Amino acid sequence: MNCLLSYIRLSRSSFTKLKNVRSVSNTALYALKMAFETESTIHSFGGKLLKLKHKSQVLGCDMKLNVYLPPSASASKPAPVLFYLAGLTCTGDNGAEKGFFQHTASKRGIAVVYPDTSPRGLGIEGEDESYDFGSGAGFYVDATKAPYGGKYLMSSYITQELPEGLFSQFKELDGQRVSITGHSMGGHGALTLFLRHPGKYKSVSAFAPIANPSQCPWGEKAFKGYFGEEERSKWTEHDATELIASFPDSTDILIDVGTGDNFYKQKQLLPENFEAAAKKAGKQVTVRLQDGYDHSYFFIITFADDHVEHAAKYLLA
């Protein structure tokens, strides 16, 4: 209802322009007040896990997410924030309910945001037909190719609309101290958003990331569908292995990959390409090959504490 009230202040023509905007750099879009509805509150490690819902103007649909507030967080003492981006087929519930990031986040006084992985229910033909493209597989990019162009705008949602809305409504969150991590497709998202937005995030880490998407089947399928075969420059702009050399600052990137991960064996992840590109560029990247671990949340929960501590090193500095 609050969102609807804010629309009334817009003329019909202005609303149409905002609704159909393809480049969401227009700051007026984010000036709209975004109201989050708390659907449930779950106590976890002394803090609270909020299950939220809101209307995204960028994506044109209702979006759900989870936010963990550590026990120390308050309006007078806001907590730094770690974004966790989930992988293919996932929602904001997977990391919140199976990742166990709250364990160390509670001790360190860090809030954790668990967004969804794509828009939902847009009615695009074929968007629900494949696990690795469309619904649940937004790849954290702003699509430009029809019919997804101007609709699947996950990069803008994650880096602009969602954090600005959260930091405006939840004073327990410190919008000046933000880090990012993710798993698989979400690891790709974490790496590329960090590298594409120097200074926005204090640190980055990843679990089994799709580290060189323009060279693997998952990434090729996604980039063809979201950008087009002929738009190879767009592919480069969203490939961590291609981006690392042009990143202007020093890095300290932590990546964990299980040697028993079938997707690693199938060359879907290619962390070795990212590591080689980083070394050539003189950037610090630590890739830890964890013996026998697979791609599941059993792998993630084993090393979740390490990744929260990695973020804490910079968020609490």
Active-site annotation holds for 43: no
What is the rounded distance in angstroms from the CA atom of residue 231 to the CA atom of residue 42? 44
Q: Is 214 a catalytic residue?
A: no
- From 184, 203, 205, 214, active-site residue: 184
- Among 179, 261, 307, 310, the active-site one is 261
Q: Is 76 tagged catalytic?
A: no
CA dist., res. 65 & res. 76, Å (int): 24
| 281 contact partners, CB below 8 Å, separation of at least 6 | 244, 245, 247
The span from the CA of 10 to the CA of 84, in Å, is 34
Catalytic residues: 184, 261, 295
